[in-house]
Amino acid sequence: MALEELFDLSGRNAIVTGGGSGLGRHFAAGLAEAGANVVLCARDAARCDAAADELRRAHGVTTLGVQCDVREPESIRAVVDRTKDELGSIDILVNNAGTSWGAPVTEYPLEGWRKVIDVNLTGSFIFAQTVGREMIAQGRGGKIVNIASVAAFRSAPPEVMDAVAYNTSKGGVVSLTRDLAAKWARFDITVNAIAPGWFPTEMSEVLLERSGDVFLERIPLRRFGAADDLKGAIVFLTSPASNYVTGHTLVIDGGQSIS
């Protein structure tokens, strides 16, 4: 297979959760640029529609913007059914939807804990489970990429990052990725994860404004991540180029996790 074929996603159909903004928007752009048709879903349907329209015009692929709450199985089912109805199949899932909640551990509200775990971990499981059933029924394999975080591997003092549920949920995503990879390899479904470091997004902007200099001191490349740092990784993990890679978590953090 020629190199350009290894990274070609033409004709593949992908779902990106949390795809209307932030990292999800970057992942969706990479997939579309490589030729994939993309369904962007999130709670903000208007934002997903706008992002889908932009990608359609820029890359000439089929795109859909769909409302979805990953905490609700019925909402996930609706996205999957619409994707099948309008695109015919599901080849790729990027489990990107995420949230956080900051508070000292001794005062951390159960409401915040449940929200973060439900979105980041349980939502990823339910979406993978629902799409995995479809991929198995289709009988031609598939690619699932869960979005973890470098926070899954590193602790932080409270004055730097006080979000225990977020770190815990992302550690769970790494473990979920490994176990799904082992269980679904027989169906030719690869399951991998990406663990980003610090990328400027709406969710991270408060922390970066408050502690950005501290974070930069811990990043050997001395900069935050950008869109182009993610596009190649998502195309690799969803294309034939990664057919022999499964259960792996690719850390993209400028060296933060080794410093």
213 and 223 Cβ atoms separated by less than 8 Å:
no
Catalytic residue among 101, 166, 184, 215: 166
For residue 251, the surrounding DSSP H or E stretch is strand 249-252
Instruction: Please give the single-letter amino acid code of residue 226.
Output: A
- 3-class SS at 14? strand
E strand segments, 33-113:
37-42, 63-67, 92-95
Alpha helices in 139-254 (DSSP H): 164-184, 205-217, 228-238
Cα separation, 219 vs 222, in Å, equals: 5
Q: Catalytic annotation on 166? A: yes
Active site residues: 166
